[in-house]
């Protein structure tokens, strides 16, 4: 018995030692500049007088130019875009070919054929044949040795083509980008069971970033100088650089690795060892909603919309209020849509006025999670909404049967039921913004800022752009001021001032938007 106890104790100690011996992974993210063609071209020209011992071929001639379309994955590249023009016999297939090109994830362009300025601007990667990889690597090493490029800023690296054993990808990471993230902090790691994946499947890891790292990644996503980001672990690139989504603000960071690389076998353990256990920062304010209370707000616009004023009041009634979950019922006295067009669904037409009435009679529920600041909008009674919508559709059944029954093969009732299901479960309540801005704004700031924040910038999804923020404290509460500028994604210049009382409840929101010659905005003010 004593011997068994000693063996168990020894095993526990050994396990602890082994666990402590796992090196925590250090994760960083750097943008891949879109001017790689320009950088490499300059290097290629400077190398010509001194590269004779390696090869007489210019560096640029050893590379194939590849372009990224935002949202693409280089591993999916398969077809060139410089395709021959269709012959007379192929004219009928021209539209199909164009459609296929639109669906391509990424495109490859031969630099000798499609070397346009526009192509150069979009380039983030070159393809290198395996037979030339040693020459390319030697030339780049020589360029670094000779100081032909800023080695402290630009770092080149190769990655395997997941679909071919005959070529490599050549990337450059901008290590000095103002939007680089030298150290990503994350609180958890999720992974598929990498050890059970086949050789042809990637390893997928998802890191739950801290608020600060998530904000930094959001800025990189929006202010990037490229559409691609390289992820480094312990200062070494991991996997093929991933496209940066235009909207990637869920706080997660994806790592996709090649399982054939033996160095990745312990990556999950190292990532787990790098988890940061940081206390949740104290929020700037925590709303003191009281279940059963009714908050009444007035929404006003400075000008009417084509004679129809969207001004209205709404009630905000807390149904549940805890540190982990809030449910707020929103009751509007009207639902105004700026669109005057009727809604059409597979032959059925829903008058916009009828649709507004349906939404007006059905309340909304705002589900808010303070810990993550996630907000969802739901219809309070989907069953009732669906029943009333079905009644509207079926009043058109006779006309629909006459016009569509023969073509469809389905009955009007069957089509109406399907459409009702999809509308009820996929109703896009955001379509009513800015007519109902309260659906977007009432919980946006509840837990967005920490008590230690005073000014800075972050991506504000309600403006769909980067804003500068300033927080001021007064005897009556807190004022949050947001200012945005026009950029390549957001054509408007927006401003917003949010007034919060000492109980953490919004007193007033003043929003102003300037887009070209159009001047708009609204005010939300609590009346009781």
Write the CA distances from 19 to 16, 187, 212, 427, integer angstroms.
5, 18, 28, 49
The answer, yes or no, to whether residue 457 has pLDDT greater than 90, is no
Torsion angle, CA of 286/290/291/295, rounded to 10 degrees? -100
Q: What is the pLDDT of residue 342?
A: 75
Q: For position 100, what pLDDT does the model report?
A: 32
For residue 384, is pLDDT > 80? yes
What pLDDT shows up at residue 364?
A: 85
CA dihedral 460, 462, 464, 468 (to 10 degrees): -30
- What is the enclosing helix (H) or strand (E) of 278? none
Helix (H/G/I), strand (E/B), else coil: 66: strand
- Confidence at residue 4, expressed as pLDDT on a 0 to 100 scale: 47
CA dihedral sign of residues 67, 69, 73, 79: negative
Residue range 340-350: mean pLDDT, rounded: 76
- Give all strands (DSSP E) within 145-235, no chain letters: 154-160, 167-174, 186-191, 203-209, 228-233
Distance separating alpha carbons of residues 191 and 193, to the nearest angstrom: 6
Asked if 511 and 437 touch (Cβ cutoff 8 Å), the reply is yes
Residues shown for the chain: 528
Please, which pLDDT band fits residue 29 given cuts at 50, 70 and 90?
Answer: very high
- Asked if 414 and 404 touch (Cβ cutoff 8 Å), the reply is no
Q: Which whole number is the average pLDDT over 192-204?
A: 55
Lowest mean pLDDT among 175-184, 212-221, 296-305, 514-523: 514-523
Phi, psi of 522 (to 5 degrees): -165, 170
Which of 160-174, 254-268, 289-303, 439-453 holds the top average pLDDT?
A: 289-303
* Per-residue pLDDT at 60 exceeds 80: yes
DSSP string, 280-327: PPPBS------TT--EEEEEE-SS-BTTB---EEEEEEEEEE-SS-EE
Separation of first and last alpha carbons in the chain: 74
Task: Return the beta strands (E) in 33-142 as ranges.
Answer: 64-67, 107-108, 123-129
Q: Which residues does residue 392 pair with via DSSP β-bridges, in sequence order?
A: none
Given a cut of 70, whether residue 295 has pLDDT beyond it is yes
CA-to-CA distance for 338 and 236, rounded, in angstroms?
Answer: 52
The lowest-confidence range among 69-73, 164-168, 322-326, 437-441 is: 69-73
Task: Quickly count: other Cβ atoms within 10 Å of residue 414's Cβ.
Answer: 11
**Exposure of 19 by Cβ count < 10 A (0-12 exposed, 13-18 middle, 19+ buried)?**
exposed
Asked if pLDDT for residue 118 goes beyond 70, the answer is no
Least confident of 4-13, 118-127, 284-293: 4-13
Give the closest residue to 497 by CA, choosing from 485, 508, 484, 486: 508
Q: Say if residue 122's pLDDT is above 80.
A: no
Q: Tell which wins on pLDDT, 247 or 450.
A: 450
Q: Which of 169-183, 289-303, 488-502 has the lowest mean pLDDT?
A: 488-502
- Closest to 185 in 3D by CA, of 70, 257, 283, 281: 281
Residue 478 in this model has a pLDDT that exceeds 90: yes
Read off φ and ψ for residue 48, nearest 5 degrees.
Answer: -50, -45
Q: How confident is the model at residue 500 (pLDDT cuts 50, 70, 90)?
A: very high
CA dist., res. 335 & res. 347, Å (int): 25
- Centroid of chain to Cα 236: 25
Share of the chain above pLDDT 70, in %: 70
Q: Which of 163-167, 183-187, 391-395, 436-440 has the highest mean pLDDT?
A: 183-187
Q: How many CB atoms lie within 10 A of CB 261?
A: 13
pLDDT band at 89 (very low <50, low <70, confident <90, very high): very low
What does the pLDDT average to over 362-380?
80
CA distance 190 to 251: 13
Read off the pLDDT of each residue in 301-309 and give the average, rounded to a whole number: 63
Distance CA 49, CA 142 (A): 12
How many other C-beta atoms can be found within 10 angstroms of the C-beta atom of residue 212?
14
Q: What is the mean pLDDT of residues 439-458?
A: 83
Which tokens in the block code for residue 57? 């071929």
pLDDT of residue 117: 36
Name the average pLDDT for the chain: 75
pLDDT at 439: 78
Nearest to 429 by CA among 521, 313, 335, 515: 335
**Mean pLDDT calculated for residue range 64-80:** 45
The contacts of residue 526 (CB under 8 Å, 6+ apart) are 295, 296, 297, 505, 506, 507, 508
Furthest CA-CA distance within the chain: 90
């Amino acid at each position: 018995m004593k011997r068994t106890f000693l063996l168990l104790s020894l095993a526990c100690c050994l396990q602890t030692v082994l666990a402590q011996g796992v090196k925590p992974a250090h994760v960083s993210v750097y943008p891949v500049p879109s001017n790689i063609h320009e950088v490499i071209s300059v290097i290629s020209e400077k190398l010509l007088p001194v590269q004779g011992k390696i090869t007489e071929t210019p560096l640029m001639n050893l590379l194939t130019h590849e372009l990224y379309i935002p949202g693409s994955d280089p591993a999916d590249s398969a077809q060139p875009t410089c395709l021959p023009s269709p012959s007379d016999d192929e004219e009928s297939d021209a539209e199909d070919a164009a459609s296929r090109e639109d669906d391509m994830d990424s495109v490859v362009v031969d630099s000798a054929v499609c070397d346009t300025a526009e192509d150069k601007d979009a380039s983030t990667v070159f393809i290198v044949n395996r037979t030339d990889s040693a020459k390319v690597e030697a030339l780049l090493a020589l360029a670094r040795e000779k100081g032909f490029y800023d080695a402290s800023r630009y770092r080149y690296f190769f990655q395997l083509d997941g679909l071919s054993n005959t070529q490599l990808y050549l990337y450059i990471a901008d290590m000095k980008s103002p939007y680089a993230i030298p150290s990503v902090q994350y609180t958890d790691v999720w992974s598929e069971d990498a050890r059970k994946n086949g050789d042809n499947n990637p390893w997928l890891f998802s890191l739950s970033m801290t608020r600060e790292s998530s904000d930094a990644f959001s800025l990189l996503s929006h202010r990037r100088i490229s559409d691609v980001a390289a992820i480094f672990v312990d200062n070494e690139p991991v996997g093929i650089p991933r496209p940066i989504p235009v909207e990637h603000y869920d706080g997660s960071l994806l790592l996709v690795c090649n399982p054939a690389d033996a160095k990745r076998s312990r990556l999950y353990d190292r990532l787990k060892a790098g988890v940061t256990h940081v206390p949740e920062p104290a929020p700037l304010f925590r709303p003191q909603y009281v279940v059963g209370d009714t908050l009444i707000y007035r929404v006003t616009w400075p000008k009417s919309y084509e004679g129809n004023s969207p001004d209205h009041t709404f009630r905000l009634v807390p149904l549940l209020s805890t540190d982990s979950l809030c449910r707020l019922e929103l009751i509007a006295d009207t639902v105004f849509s700026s669109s005057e067009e009727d809604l059409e669904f597979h032959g059925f037409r829903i008058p916009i006025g009828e649709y507004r009435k349906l939404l007006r009679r059905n309340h909304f529920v705002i589900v808010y999670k303070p810990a993550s600041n996630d907000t969802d909008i739901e219809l309070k009674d989907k069953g009732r909404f669906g029943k009333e919508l079905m009644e509207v559709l079926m009043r058109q059944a006779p006309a629909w049967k006459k016009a569509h029954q023969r073509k469809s093969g389905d009955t009007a009732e069957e089509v109406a039921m399907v459409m009702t299901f999809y509308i009820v479960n996929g109703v896009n309540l955001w379509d009513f913004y800015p007519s109902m801005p309260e659906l977007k704004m009432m919980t946006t700031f509840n837990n967005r800022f920490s008590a230690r924040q005073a000014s800075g910038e972050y991506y504000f999804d309600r403006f769909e752009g980067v804003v500068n923020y300033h927080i001021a404290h007064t005897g009556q509460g807190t004022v949050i001021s947001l200012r945005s500028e026009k950029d390549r994604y957001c054509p408007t210049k927006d401003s917003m001032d949010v007034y919060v009382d000492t109980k953490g409840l919004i007193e007033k929101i003043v929003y102003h938007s300037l887009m070209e010659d159009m001047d708009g905005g609204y005010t939300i003010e609590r009346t009781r």
